[in-house]
Each structure stands twice: as C-alpha cells, then as structure tokens.
Homo-oligomer: A and B are copies of this chain.
Amino acid sequence: MHNARYKRIHKAGLPPGSLIFTGERKLEHPQLTLTIYNAAQYQPITNATLEQCLVQPTETTTTWIHVSGLHNVDLIARLTQHFNIHPLVTEDILNTHQRPKAEEYDNYLFLSLQALGWDTQTKNFNTEQISIIFGKGFLLSFQEQATPLFAKIQEQLARGQTRLRENNSDYLAYTLIDIIVDQYFLILEDLGGTIEVVEDKIIANIDQNAARDLYRIKQQMYQFRKVIWPLREVVNHLLRSDGKLVTHTTGIYLRDVYDHTIQIMDTIELFHDRLDNMLDVHLSSLTNRMNEIMKVLTIIATLFIPLTFISSIYGMNFHYMPELAWHWGYPAVLLVMLIMAIIMLMYFRRKKWL
C-alpha cells in the first residue's frame, strides 16, 4: 500500500498527457454501463459496447456512462475524446494514485476520489480511485474494480420518481460522492473499535507491544487522512462553483456532504490525539513496571546481603575468634540478624515500598 503513493515515477520522463495505466489490472475485461434517464424514462444497458456509449447527451435526459476496469487505455481514450475531455484528465483517470481533487474545465467538472475499503487479509485499507466527469446532461464515472459501490444508485434509479431521477447530472455526482463518504463512516467505526481494543489492553497494562500496535493504527489513520483532507477541498470547490454546473438544490445536499467530511476529519483528529495520549499511558506504565521490578530486587538484596555478610564473618576460620566459643553466640547472632531485618522492613514500609 505504502509505495502506491509515489508510483507516478514509472512514467517519469514521458511527455505530459502520455496515457499509461499505472495501477494493477484487477478485472479481466472493462465493463461499460450506459444509463440514460430522466423523471419519465430509465434505460440501463449493462455490458454496453463502446460504440453504444458514444452517444450525444441531450437536454432533457441525463446520460451516465460507468466504466469498471481501467487497463484498456485505448477504450478510455476514445470515450473521453468523444466527450472532448482534456488529455491531462484522461491521464489522471488512468493514473490511479491521484490525490483527491476537483478541476474545473469549460464545459465539465473533473473529480478524482478515493473509495476506501478494508482489506481483511493485509489488515489495511484498500483504496480504489473513482473518477467522475460531469457536464450538462452527462456524467462519466470510472473505477478500477467492479465493486458493487454504485449498484445502489441503479436501484434508486430503477425504483422510479425519486429526487435522483428528477435532477440532473450534478445531483448524480453528489449521490456518488455521498455513497463514497458513507463508506468512510464504516471504516471509521472499524478504526474506533480497533482503538478501543488496544486502549483496554493498555489501561489493563497487558500489552507489551502497545507501541507497535499504536504505530500500526496511526499509519492507517494517516492514509485515511490523506484521502479525507483533500476531499473536503473537493466538496468545497463544488460548493463554490455554485450556479453553473452545480444547481442551488444540489448545493444544499453538497453542504451536507461537506459537514460529513468535517465530522470525519474531527473524529480522525480526535483518534489521533487519543492514540498519542495512549502512548503516554503506555510509556508511563513501562516505567512503572520497571520501578516495580527494581523495588523487588532492591528489597531482597538490601535485606539479605548484609545478613549474609554477618554470617560469612562467623564462617571465617581464624583460630582466635572468641565469639565462636560463647555458648549464646549463635542465638545472639540470629537475634541481631532478625533485628536488622526488622529495621530494614520498617525502612521499606516508611518509603512506601511495601
């Protein structure tokens, strides 16, 4: 995952606008879905051919062409040329490691987004680039895999007289963004759950490798942040371009998405601070633990080393050691040792070590 960020290098040196697909081929064949709809009609063609898709958008309907699978560079180039899309945009669609962004062109808006999924195998995020181009009467969307992310929209369209059918391509674009952002909340909940598990372990002081766990979670949060921060700018860009391509009605809904991105960012920042503070708790309990260990050692050593010294004195073999011959010498020494031990224990108790 981590080296996905700086993959652009494979085309370093080529002139700008060179069309090269930089992701992994995740689908055998690209799938095109052509949907032409308005409040009255709805004609979805799944597995459409390229030729079917090269339609002219009309004033009264919305033409939505969705492409799953990006490795057929030629197909995508012909499709975008048909809609007069700038070569740099086509390049950005194919280069799947984009930072989320919105770019305004004369007749259309280009959005590059990152959908997030959770890969249960690598225990990490799974990003998929979603590119959206929309203008008056048409919307092109591109994704790497055939994930069922957008199937819900087809359902909504099919169901009939919803707000979606009545509005234009800008509302469709909003709906796509809304679905992607909704997905983020699910990831956020997962992350929150993971954090609580680690938190419980740290509070109970049973996780020796807490620092490593916290590190892993933080790295995931950085990846999340990398996606969500620019997204806010994207939505803000759309909000500000109010009037031309984005209608006032859609603008109100976009404001809602904007609030959601802010809410996600707030939560991520909160998680981040929380992880930092958890690390402090962990480090402090490591030191506490060492204090505990050292205290045991010190008590034992301080108690027995002087006593052993005394008994070693009377273990010496000097010929003239008068105490050795005393009748009460042995019990006297034992008594002395006992008194010393008691004094030591009282000292420890006063120091609050016992």
Interface residues, chain A, with chain B CB atoms under 8 Å away:
2-3, 5-6, 8-9, 12-13, 15-17, 86, 88, 99, 101, 103, 152, 156, 162-164, 175, 178-179, 182-183, 185-186, 188-189, 192-193, 196, 203, 208-212, 214-215, 218-219, 222, 226, 252-253, 255-256, 259-260, 262-263, 266-267, 270, 273-274, 277-291, 293-298, 300-302, 304-309, 311-321, 323-327, 329-330, 333-334, 353
Contacts and interface: CB of A to CB of B under 8 A. Distances in A.
Contact of A297 (B284, B297, B318, B319): B297
Nearest to A283: B284
Nearest to A195: B2
A87 to B, nearest CB: 9
B277 A218 contact: yes
Contacts of A255: 103
22 contacts: A9-B188, A13-B182, A15-B164, A88-B253, A208-B288, A211-B285, A214-B280, A215-B281, A222-B270, A226-B266, A283-B284, A293-B294, A293-B353, A294-B294, A307-B309, A308-B312, A312-B312, A312-B315, A316-B333, A317-B317, A318-B324, A318-B330
Q: How many identical subunits does the complex contain?
A: 5
Given A12-B182, A319-B324, A289 B291 contact: yes
A274 B253 CA distance: 36
A301 B307 contact: no
Given A215-B277, A287-B287, 8 more contacts: A5-B263, A6-B188, A209-B288, A214-B277, A214-B280, A283-B284, A301-B301, A315-B317
Give the secondary structure class of A's interface. Answer: helix
Given A182-B13, A290-B291, A308-B308, A267 B300 contact: no
A257 B320 CA distance: 90
B315 A17 contact: no
A139 to B, nearest CB: 17
A101 B267 CA distance: 16
Contacts of A324: 317-319
A266 B309 contact: no
Contacts of A316: 311, 314-315, 317, 330, 333
